[in-house]
Homo-oligomer: A and B are copies of this chain.
Amino acid sequence: MIKDMKWWGWGDPAFVFPMDEKPLLWPFVRKSLGLTEDAPQTPPVDRAQVKLPERRRSADFEAAVAAFLKADQIAADDEQRLIHTYGKSFPDLFRVRRGIVSNAPDLVLFPESHEEVERIVAAARQTGVRLVAFGGGTNIVGGVEHLDPSAVRVTLDMRRMNRVLEIDRHSWTATIQAGAPGPKLEDDLQALGFSLGHMPDSFEFATLGGWLATRSAGMQSDAYGKIEDMVVALKLVSPAGTLSTKLTPKSAAGPDLDQVVVGSEGVLGVITEAVMKVHPNPAVKDYHGVLFPDFESGSEAIREVIGRRAAPTMFRLQDVDETQLAFSMKSPSTGISGFIQSQVKKYLKAKGYAQPCLMMVGFEGEADYAAEMRRKVLPMLKKHRGFHLGNSVGKTWAKNKFAVPYLRDILMNHGCMVDVAETAAVWSKLMPLYHAARNTIKEQFKKEGYPGYIGCHISHSYVDGASLYFTFAARQIAGQELEQYYRFKRLITQTFMENGGTLTHHHAVGYEHRPWMERELSRPGLEILRGLKRTLDPDNIMNPGKLILPAGPEALAPAPEFEVPR
């Protein structure tokens, strides 16, 4: 029922990234990062070498939960402790691959109902145990790692709470348990004729509760919204009691409490279920590739189409560098089709597409609705010099869309640092922000004296702006791997903040982004979050150290990026 990822990397242990089918990819990577043939291999340590730390125990807590949980809902074995130690950030993987797991949980619980979560949280409050809620473990900002070294640390694996509890066919809403992972949730809904339509990169493993806790954005957010736009009501088990928000399309009864819980990253309590907007499972999913002569033209095209309310289901626009990476993942065409493609390439080059930017645009819905959208949108893209590549590119993209994150493990096996950083800004600031971030990282590669890769795509678009999603990679500096990583992470984040970008558009804060939260929210904004924490979790037992620090001397401690537990 629960599909764990590789303990040392991303995704399904059985999946092998099809490098053989992509003969252009590895040469592209080697050239971009300056990897030599004889570069050292850096595989993860053997599982047998990973020594879990001694378990801290709370006899009171264990007795309390043993009273209402079955034996198979309580795990303290090394396997479960290891799997639940980290998310999948670069520092997470770097450490786990070296066998550094000092923050492993002491106990892992598998609640099966809202009521069990309530009883666990109550027991934790009584005994001072620390609780982290764990969904798919896909978080990449440190969201699920235990940080408090002074306490017994318990992780709640929510994935046994994975059912669609109720479907309201008339209102197009579904009540879903928070531990439902993407595939099960979609399968269950689609069996009922509906879809949530939330497909972030983490889709195969992450859960509804994790998405809600982090304000996740799916690839089709242009049509279906970010997760915060889909939520109608929810339940949060906090140490101060269960918050149950109103089931209503909209309300004027004070601040929107759904929007207080969404993005709270487990620090206020555990989300156990939510009523979500769903829609009839689309009959058609039609994805097309379009080439633009540059990033600006593509970006302007998106802005115009969305402004005219002709919004497709998805826009994804890759910059020059990411387009080259994407092209390197194609199987090379041979024979007639190879000949045609090379002619098209020559033609495009002559027309100003020497350094093209690739856009994927998607049309989902009833057949006539999708077709009409396509007929409306493609000419608007053409007006902005979009060259229509057809839907075969779209099919290839759709097939491979969840494979890319697996590539990082291969790079890490070859001594490389690789990570992503994302932000959003209003349109007037978007391109300056893009260039500032790209140039900053490129200059840093130059300054540090080694080649590196940085690529970017627009991943989510709005009437007033869009998000930018960067991927950067370089060879690791042996012995300084984490320092090197945090140097780049800090640089790009700082550049976002100085150029009108938000701290994070959909990866959340965890502890990696925490040092910038006051700048992001203003001082009273930070105090609001601290006040929420005091109200719902006065003893600071819920995911301590994430999102914000409580007020007081502790808040003056150095930012954790300089003190990642090793």
Contacts and interface: CB of A to CB of B under 8 A. Distances in A.
Interface stretch (A106-114, A248-256, A318-326, A469-477): A248-256
A500 to B, nearest CB: 7
Interface stretch (A123-131, A149-157, A179-187, A520-528): A520-528
B505 A173 contact: no
Contacts of A248: 424-426, 465, 501-502, 505
Interface string A158-177: 00000000001011110000
Contact of A171 (B216, B256, B365, B426): B426
A390 B383 CA distance: 36
Contacts of A507: 252
Contacts of A377: none
A254 B548 contact: yes
A412 B35 CA distance: 84
> How many residues of A sit at the interface, in one of the four size bands?
35 or more
Interface stretch (A49-57, A70-78, A239-247, A328-336): A239-247
Given A171-B464, A252-B506, 11 more contacts: A170-B428, A172-B464, A216-B252, A241-B522, A243-B528, A253-B263, A253-B508, A254-B509, A256-B259, A257-B521, A524-B536
A376 to B, nearest CB: 9
A140 to B, nearest CB: 12
Contacts of A245: 521-522, 525
Contacts of A97: none
A205 to B, nearest CB: 18
A87 B483 CA distance: 60
Contact of A524 (B215, B242, B366): B242
4 nearest A-B pairs in the assembled complex, by CB-CB distance = A531-B535, A249-B465, A215-B252, A171-B426
Contact of A228 (B168, B256, B279, B501): B256
13 contacts: A215-B250, A217-B252, A226-B250, A240-B524, A243-B521, A249-B426, A251-B502, A254-B265, A256-B256, A256-B260, A257-B528, A309-B369, A527-B535
A513 interface: yes
Nearest to A547: B254
A530 B522 contact: no
Nearest to A242: B524
A220 interface: no
B253 A517 contact: yes
Nearest to A501: B248
A307 interface: yes
Given A171-B426, A464-B277, A531-B532, A241 B520 contact: no
A256 B215 CA distance: 10
Nearest to A507: B252
Given A248-B426, A263-B256, A466-B249, A172 B307 contact: yes
Interface in A336-376: 365-366, 369
Given A241-B523, A465-B171, A215 B532 contact: no
Nearest to A530: B535
Interface in A219-236: 226, 228, 232, 236
Given A241-B523, A254-B521, A536-B528, A424 B259 contact: no
A202 interface: no
A272 interface: no
A435 interface: no
A242 to B, nearest CB: 7
A462 interface: yes
